[in-house]
Amino acid sequence: MNQMTPIMMLLAGCAMRKMEVPQEAVSDQSKEEAEEFHSIEFESAPARPRKKREVNTPIETRSFDEGVLENLSVPLLEDATLRKEIEVDHIDIDEDQIIDNQDEYIDHGVNPFVDTSTDHLSTFSIDVDTASYTQARRRIKDGRLPDLASVRVEEFVNYFDYKYDSTDAEPFIVHMEGMSDPFREGQHILRVGVQGKRLTQKERPPLRLTFLVDISGSMSSPDKLPLAQQSMHMLVDSLREDDSVSLVTYAGAVRKILSPTYGDDKRAIHDAIDRLMAGGSTAMSSGLDLAYEQAWESFKEGAENRVVILSDGDANVGDTSWESMLEQIKSYADRGVTVSTIGLGMGNYKDTRMEQLANKGDGNNFYVDSQEEAQKIFVDGFLGTMITIARDVKIQMDFNPETVESYRLIGYENRDIADKDFRNDRVDAGEVGAGHSVTALYALKLKETSPMDAVATARLRYEAPGADKAAKERAFLFRAEQIRETPSSQLSLAYTAASFAETLRRSPFSNAYSLSQLESYGHKQISNKDQYTRELLELIALSNRLRE
């Protein structure tokens, strides 16, 4: 018989209690359907092996009695150091000792240092997602540290606008800069910033959007369906007259709420959004089928054809074979219909599923925790969120063994690509939206260098969207003279965000500084602090108090 896991032991020690269904969770569907949602289920995901990882921390098996559970004030699994790539179910125990539905994450480990004499190439897919940062922000503001596995360093770094210069001549320009690591003597930090071409509302292609909205009972809380509706209203207000919108919902059944409607009739679109009510179980697979029918009905060559999924990621009724759903999404992405996922809520949030849907759909993955975040994504960042300027974007760093002893990519653990597949255009990679930037940081251990010595070459490979899929490649050289004694505010901000994430996920490389030291560094080195930078420093201070 298989050995009991810590989660199984935890449940075995719990007294079962009846969970009442809130009145707002009941609409046209039966109360029994709504109650079905509240059943607790645990799922596991198979491990996906990847290279360049250290797995060296065993998980201690413990048993728990009812007395221990009564004293828990923070999630149990947040105290575990998980360095294996497994799906993690987060257990919330509220003040009434009721176990809520679980959030799900996958821990992808931490990249180690790599000796250039062994491997001088580092290859990864770009990532413009930001969901991990906004989820962590919500938890910290709620008075709890985030789950270790929920923290993806690159999504912390890429949450911020570094205001890189762009060019109209090319889809991308690459900015590189280096500095001495402020907390580690003898180490350096290399920033690789990729800036996408900026477009105006007038220059962009028309949109063909299909909203796929989860209206199951799990979406009834104010931070789910009501916030999804506010987000859609904001997006609709940004549409042009030649854009079109369809609206499909799914719960115990799927419904077409709005056929393709042009942007010159925004009132009809707003009214359809306002009619949505939550209740029932969740049939995501059937919802996807109908959404793609609508997307294909309104498909236009040369337009941005996109399905926008707004959900907590739960799918517990219907044809929920996850692999078949992902295959369906990939097949439509290959035909020109992409996917954006907008995550909502906490307590049963399926982070892994929402990220996988976006990845397979050649789209982006966001998490909305407030009206302000909806404004950032759908209004301020509208063009970057909705308009793709390049597909399958890969970066390959070629480090010079004569000047670089070893390197470590900070984050991007689940974006790793085999070095040999950099020019294999059948290997899927990430997409970049208009005006989006992507930033990656490397920790470097250098040998003795002179200013003109080559440190690394950054190669960028991508495909243009649309029918012309011939891949293009550009190369950018980084020399030792680009390592600054006084780093830019951009690099200092990226370093602060990455170091904060490293601490939250308890990386073995985060022991060189304290959060109070990191906060002081950010206040001193980051100039022109906007509201998001100030909030980052506040979150560092809050996290420091939560760790005490």
Confidence of residue 111 (pLDDT cuts 50, 70, 90): very high
Retrieve residue 15's tokens: 């007294």
Note whether 427 and 477 are same-domain residues. Answer: yes
pLDDT (tens digit, 9 = 90+) per residue, 278-318? 987 777 888 999 999 999 999 999 999 999 999 988 765 45
Alpha-carbon span 158 to 415, nearest angstrom: 14
The CATH code of the domain that includes 473 is 2.60.40.1230
Note whether 104 and 73 are same-domain residues. Answer: yes
In a domain, 37, yes or no: yes
For the ranges 52-66, 89-103, 122-136, 325-339, the lowest mean pLDDT is seen at 52-66
Alpha-carbon span 297 to 321, nearest angstrom: 25
In a domain, 125, yes or no: no
Residue 296 confidence (pLDDT)? 95
Q: Which of 484, 508, 530 is where one domain is finished?
A: 484
pTM of the model: 0.80
Note whether 12 and 89 are same-domain residues. Answer: yes
pLDDT (tens digit, 9 = 90+) per residue, 27-42? 444 333 334 333 333 3
Q: Which of 484, 512, 535 is where one domain is finished?
A: 484
pLDDT (tens digit, 9 = 90+) per residue, 437-459? 999 999 999 999 999 999 999 99
Q: Which of 484, 511, 527 is where one domain is finished?
A: 484
Q: Which comes out higher in pLDDT, residue 166 or 282? A: 166
289 three-state secondary structure: helix
Note whether 538 and 414 are same-domain residues. Answer: no
495 three-state secondary structure: helix
Residue 315 confidence (pLDDT)? 67
Residue 395 confidence (pLDDT)? 98
Q: Which comes out higher in pLDDT, residue 113 or 69? A: 113
Note whether 452 and 528 are same-domain residues. Answer: no
Note whether 269 and 313 are same-domain residues. Answer: yes
Note whether 260 and 350 are same-domain residues. Answer: yes
Q: Which comes out higher in pLDDT, residue 313 or 117? A: 117
Strand spans (E) along 348-482? 364-368, 388-399, 404-410, 430-433, 437-446, 454-463, 471-479
Mean pLDDT across 345-374: 91
> Rg (Cα) of the chain, in Å, rounded?
23
Number of H helices, E strands in the chain: 15, 19
Confidence of residue 168 (pLDDT cuts 50, 70, 90): confident
pLDDT (tens digit, 9 = 90+) per residue, 170-205? 889 999 999 999 999 999 999 999 999 999 999 999
Within 13 A of 545's CA, how many CA atoms are on the CB side? 9
Confidence of residue 14 (pLDDT cuts 50, 70, 90): very low
Residue 484: CB atoms within 10 Å: 12
Confidence of residue 468 (pLDDT cuts 50, 70, 90): low
Residue 99 confidence (pLDDT)? 32
Q: Which comes out higher in pLDDT, residue 328 or 16? A: 328
Residue 66 confidence (pLDDT)? 37
Q: What angle do CA 289, 340, 314 make, to 5 degrees?
A: 60
| Residue from 20, 27, 17 nearest 217 by CA | 27
The CATH code of the domain that includes 307 is 3.40.50.410
For the ranges 19-23, 272-276, 394-398, 431-435, the lowest mean pLDDT is seen at 19-23
User: Chain centroid to CA 143: how far?
Assistant: 22
Residue 411: CB atoms within 10 Å: 28
Q: What share of the chain is helix, strand, coil (3-state, %, to 5)?
A: 30, 25, 45
Note whether 267 and 213 are same-domain residues. Answer: yes
> Which helix (H) or strand (E) element contains residue 176?
strand 172-180
Q: Which comes out higher in pLDDT, residue 69 or 215? A: 215
Residue 336 confidence (pLDDT)? 93
Note whether 163 and 232 are same-domain residues. Answer: no
Confidence of residue 76 (pLDDT cuts 50, 70, 90): very low
Q: Please provide residue 409's backbone torsions phi and psi, each rounded to the nearest 5 degrees.
A: -75, 125
Q: Give the torsion through C-alpha atoms of 374, 410, 526, 458, to 10 deg.
A: -100
Residue 467 confidence (pLDDT)? 57
Mean pLDDT across 109-137: 96
Pairing verdict, β 254-262 and 244-250: antiparallel
In a domain, 376, yes or no: no
Retrieve residue 195's tokens: 């800036």
In a domain, 28, yes or no: yes
In a domain, 382, yes or no: no
pLDDT (tens digit, 9 = 90+) per residue, 495-542? 999 999 999 999 999 999 999 999 999 999 999 899 999 999 999 999
Residue 18 confidence (pLDDT)? 36
Residue 172 confidence (pLDDT)? 93
In a domain, 41, yes or no: yes
Note whether 179 and 213 are same-domain residues. Answer: no
Within 13 A of 38's CA, how many CA atoms are on the CB side? 18
Length of the chain: 548
Q: What is the tally of structural domains in the chain?
A: 4
Q: What angle do CA 512, 515, 517 make, to 5 degrees?
A: 70
Alpha-carbon span 447 to 366, nearest angstrom: 40
For the ranges 51-55, 228-232, 256-260, 264-268, the lowest mean pLDDT is seen at 51-55
Is 164 within 8 Å of 175 (Cβ atoms)? Answer: yes
Within 13 A of 348's CA, how many CA atoms are on the CB side? 24
Q: What angle do CA 473, 475, 481 make, to 5 degrees?
A: 165
Alpha-carbon span 26 to 39, nearest angstrom: 16
Alpha-carbon span 127 to 543, nearest angstrom: 25
Amino acid at 509: F
Retrieve residue 91's tokens: 């257990």
Domain, as residue range, for 306 = 207-370
Mean pLDDT across 480-484: 96
In the predicted structure, residue 98 carries a pLDDT above the cut 50: no
Is 509 within 8 Å of 495 (Cβ atoms)? Answer: no
How is residue 147 annotated by DSSP?
P
531 burial via Cβ count (<10 Å: 0-12, 13-18, 19+): exposed
In the predicted structure, residue 94 carries a pLDDT above the cut 80: no
In the predicted structure, residue 117 carries a pLDDT above the cut 50: yes
According to DSSP, the residues that pair with 440 across neighbouring strands are 192
In a domain, 67, yes or no: yes
Retrieve residue 286's tokens: 């059937």
Alpha-carbon span 522 to 160, nearest angstrom: 14
380 CB contacts (<8 Å, ≥6 apart)? none
Alpha-carbon span 381 to 459, nearest angstrom: 27
Note whether 225 and 342 are same-domain residues. Answer: yes
In the predicted structure, residue 230 carries a pLDDT above the cut 50: yes
| Residue from 413, 411, 527, 457 nearest 176 by CA | 457
Q: What percent of the chain has pLDDT over 70?
A: 80
Note whether 351 and 406 are same-domain residues. Answer: no
In a domain, 381, yes or no: no
